[in-house]
Amino acid sequence: MSRRSALLALPCAAFLLSACSSLAPAQAAASPADAILLGRLFDARAGLVIDHGVVVIAGERVLCAGERAACSWDATTPQHDYGDALLLPGLIDLHVHARPHYIGAFVPSGVTTIRDAGNTLDTLARLRATSGAPRLLATGPLLDGPVSVLTPQGPAPFDAETLGGQPAITLTSPADADTVIDALAEAGVDWIKLYEQLSPEVFDAALQAAARHGLPVMADLGTVLTRGLTGAQVDARHAAASGVTTLEHLGGVALAYERLGGDPDAETLDPALLDRIVADLAQSGVAVVPTAGNAAQFAAPDSLPRDDLPGAALVAADFSGYWSHLSRVLGEPEVHALARSDQRLLRAMLPRLLAAGVRIGAGSDLPAAPYMLAGPALHQELDALVANGLTPVQALQAATHVAADILGQADLGRLEAGARADVLVVAGDPLADIRATRRIEAVWTDGTRVDLAAAWTTVENALDAARAEAQAEVEAGSTDEG
Ligand SMILES: [Zn+2]
């Protein structure tokens, strides 16, 4: 088996969602305010900071936000004066793999909305029922071709009876795509996720089926490290031209580059080929979720600082074995070379994509890569985006209003009248040092202040319970064998 094909089966799981209705503009004007938040304020759309900012909250929504002089409120309304701290829209992580034992770690990390990128419908239902979960948009099971790393035992055809428990479904024909996407739409998924090894014909049929239901589509077309050059059939240019909504991990770019005659493993990449790919992506209107933190940690595990992340000590413990194992695999010279190819492509592509006006969204892919912390990893992604050429403002926009735009959720990712009152308050200035987003003073979701200590205690209890459950399973297993 080649080294490439032996590579990482990135964990993928997801869930469906409830969440956000579209913007219900401020009937707010007549409602009394419930809370006043004072501080510096990040205007996510304009990309600037208002020094004397305010967010006036009424119920679950923002009644008024911006310069204090532009908003008015009653003196009896409770005020929360955060001084020089910065008020930001609650952050959005566009690519996660959530699980019940760490679903509670997002909100106290300032991540108030997530897009889950692959899960069973049953797990999604559990996640949604968990108190303290962030707002959740999700794909259902991943859709892939008959030969797939997701279904190592062989094809997993659609089965209406067991749909809720299927993490991946095999599509072998355009008719399959219609049947499965009809069923997923019926089940209420928010997104469709297409995976690496679909044929172009089935891929395009799936896009058409999704479009009939008004469902956006994310595609993971594989990277050099995964199977982007060994089995993937659809490249990034094809996917974009066919109307995919987001490209994850810059997947399919290596294959597009190779098909244009380039060598994606070369130390020096051909600017003309890169520009051609970027021009095609820009023309299509596709958005890119590069998961730059992922690429960084695959190329150099533990290179992104994490000790200062919210909840770091708590959530790291359960992953150390997995991280060490993955790091050992990634340390093998042949594997390392593949990860470096991906990183070279990413470094070359991101500034070009930005310059061409392609929307870049922030997604951590947690916990797929080593040392990306379940819950707070979006802060690592912000760090990695800046390291790859985004300004801190662009990185913050990638996790706020650009992310909301990609999600088609006009009332998220901004602090403006009518928006959901999701607010992150951080000490320091993330525009000067992006790592300041980790210095969390307060989080508000839907107009309610989160008790951060209680939220972390809930996470601790959930992790303890999961550990006990896993231990019980191990013991039951050894008893059975005995
Ligand atoms: Zn993923």
Tell me the pLDDT of the chain (482 aa) as tens digits: 344 443 444 333 332 222 333 343 444 444 689 999 999 999 999 999 999 999 999 999 999 999 999 999 999 999 999 999 999 999 999 999 999 999 999 999 999 999 999 999 999 999 999 999 999 999 999 999 999 999 999 999 999 999 999 999 999 999 999 999 999 999 999 999 999 999 999 999 999 999 999 999 999 999 999 999 998 999 999 999 999 999 999 999 999 999 999 999 999 999 999 999 999 999 999 999 999 999 999 999 999 999 999 999 999 988 999 999 999 999 999 999 999 999 999 999 999 999 999 999 999 999 999 999 999 999 999 999 999 999 999 999 999 999 999 999 999 999 999 999 999 999 999 999 999 999 999 999 999 999 999 999 999 999 999 999 988 988 888 765 54
CA of 294 to the centre of ligand 1 (A): 9
Q: How remote is the C-alpha of 367 from its chain's centroid?
A: 11
How high is the pLDDT of residue 477? Answer: 80
Contacts of 434 (CB under 8 A, 6+ apart): 382, 383, 386, 392, 395, 396
Cα–ligand 1 centroid distance for 118 (angstroms): 7
Amino acid identity, position 376: P
**How much distance in Å is there from the Cα of 288 to the middle of ligand 1?**
13
Cα-to-centroid distance, 95 and ligand 1 (Å)? 6
3 state SS of 482: coil
User: 281-307 as b/e, with b when 16 or more CB fall inside 10 Å?
Assistant: bbebebbbbbbbbbbbbbbbbebbebe
CA distance readout (Å), 481 to 272, 443, 470, 478: 60, 48, 17, 5
Residue 325 CB contacts under 8 Å (≥ 6 apart), including other chains: none
Q: How far is the CA of 10 from the centre of ligand 1 (A)?
A: 7
pLDDT score, position 479: 63
What distance in angstroms lies between residue 242's CA and the mean position of ligand 1's atoms?
Answer: 21
* CA 152 distance to own-chain centroid: 25
List 36's β-bridge partners, or say none.
56, 79
Are the C-beta atoms of residues 55 and 415 closer than 8 Å to each other?
A: yes
Q: Which of 294, 440, 471 is nearest to 373 (CA)?
A: 294
How far apart are the CA of 48 and the centre of ligand 1, in A?
Answer: 31
pTM: 0.93
Using the mean position of ligand 1's atoms as its centre, give its distance from the Cα of residue 214 in Å: 22
Determine the residue type at 355. Answer: A
Give residue 383 CA to ligand 1 midpoint distance, Å: 19
Q: Which residue has the tokens 């009518």?
A: 418
Residue matched to tokens 């930001």: 88
Give me ligand 1 centre to Cα 402, in Å.
Answer: 19
8 A C-beta contact, residue 116 and residue 124: yes
Beta strand 35-43 with 217-219 is unpaired
Q: Collect residues with CB below 5 Å from ion ligand 1.
A: 117, 365
C-alpha torsion sign, points 354, 382, 103, 454? negative
Helix-, strand-, coil-residue percentages of the chain, each rounded to 5: 40, 20, 40
Q: How far apart are CA 114 and CA 93, in angstroms?
A: 5
Ligand 1 mean position, distance from CA 222 (Å): 11
Ligand 1 centroid to 117 CA: how many Å? 6
